[in-house]
């Protein structure tokens, strides 16, 4: 598996550097446009700044995750759907080494994107204090990060104080839950692709693959979201219950995926 990880780390560099540069450039642009719009009170800059602000939050929370799931090293779609897929699987390694190694690299990749996003979002988030002056946009979530009358840099300090001091334990839990959920999502995708190739074998009818993916995700969502009676005790306990269920299901799907690859695709 170590050999696979080294190979994939080298291969993903061609994708990793451009994505990191694009993320950094976009976030910096968002900060500059909003600060210029606030200082000049220019209508165009202010409106464009608001759009960039919303987009930056979406990219930071969802964009990097979706991109890494579907375009990262851990996605086995290109391997399974290419005409030379058997060449990738008929190497002197077990399937769990290939899939597991690629998923580990993808986890490293998405973590690096997440670090860049969180670092720059810590400067973008407080822009709400100047974009929507006088409005505490976080109070609806029950989070007290800064006072609505604080200046920009005080708000930035408030963010770091909230993450690394006040809500540190919650931030760590959310990070671990995110990484587990990301890995589980990657397992589900790979299982769907493998099952599609084994059962359907028609690479042109992608709509069938989409339907299969929706069915599998909905089935897992139904199972992992079933109530246990502990939901009202603690918010974070309630978050861990479906995460653990999701993890157990994903381990089973990972094993099934590897078995299918070795006994069906390689045959």
Res 82 pLDDT > 80: no
On whether both 55 and 151 belong to a single domain, the answer is yes
Average pLDDT, the chain: 79
Q: Residue 189 is part of which domain span?
A: 172-267
Query: Do residues 151 and 74 share a domain?
Result: yes
Check if the beta carbon of residue 136 is closer than 8 Å to that of residue 44.
Answer: no
pLDDT at 18 over 60: yes
Are residue 24 and residue 100 in the same domain, yes or no? yes
Above 60 in pLDDT, residue 3?
yes
Residues 206-216 have a mean pLDDT of 84
CB 71 within 8 A of CB 129: no
Q: What's residue 140's pLDDT? A: 44
Tens of pLDDT, residues 237-252: 777 888 888 999 999 9
Give yes or no: residues 128 and 228 share one domain: no
Domains of the chain: total: 2
Residue 142 reports pLDDT greater than 50: no
148-167 residue pLDDT tens: 556 677 777 877 887 788 77
pLDDT-derived band at 135 (thresholds 50, 70, 90) equals very low
Whole-number CA gyration radius for the chain: 22
Q: How confident is the model at residue 264 (pLDDT cuts 50, 70, 90)?
A: low
Q: How many helices (H) does the chain have, and how many strands (E)? A: 11, 0
Please spell the DSSP secondary structure of 184-205, one letter per residue.
Answer: HHHHHHHHHHHHHHHHT--SS-
Residues 158 and 267 in one domain: no
């Amino acid at each position: 598996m170590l050999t696979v990880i080294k190979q994939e780390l080298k291969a993903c560099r061609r994708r990793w550097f451009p994505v990191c540069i694009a993320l950094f450039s976009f976030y910096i642009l968002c900060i500059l446009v909003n600060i210029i719009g606030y200082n000049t009170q220019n209508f165009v800059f202010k409106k464009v700044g608001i759009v960039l602000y919303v987009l930056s939050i979406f990219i930071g929370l969802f964009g990097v995750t979706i991109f890494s799931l579907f375009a990262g090293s851990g996605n086995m779609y290109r391997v399974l759907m290419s005409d030379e897929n058997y060449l990738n699987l008929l190497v002197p390694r077990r399937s769990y080494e290939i899939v597991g190694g690629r998923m580990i690299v993808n986890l490293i990749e998405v973590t690096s994107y997440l670090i860049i996003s969180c670092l720059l979002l810590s400067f973008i988030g407080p822009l709400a204090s100047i974009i929507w002056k006088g409005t505490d946009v976080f109070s609806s979530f029950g989070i007290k990060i800064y006072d609505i009358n604080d200046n920009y840099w005080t708000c930035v300090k408030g963010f770091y104080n909230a993450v690394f001091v006040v809500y540190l334990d919650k931030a760590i839990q959310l990070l671990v839950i995110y990484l587990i959920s990301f890995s589980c999502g990657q397992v589900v995708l790979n299982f769907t692709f493998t099952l599609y190739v084994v059962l359907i074998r028609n690479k042109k009818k992608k709509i069938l693959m989409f339907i299969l993916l929706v069915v599998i995700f909905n089935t897992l969502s139904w199972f992992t979201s079933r109530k246990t009676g502990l939901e009202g005790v603690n918010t974070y306990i309630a978050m861990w219950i479906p995460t653990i269920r999701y993890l157990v299901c994903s381990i089973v799907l990972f094993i099934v995926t590897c078995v299918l690859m070795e006994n069906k695709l390689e045959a």
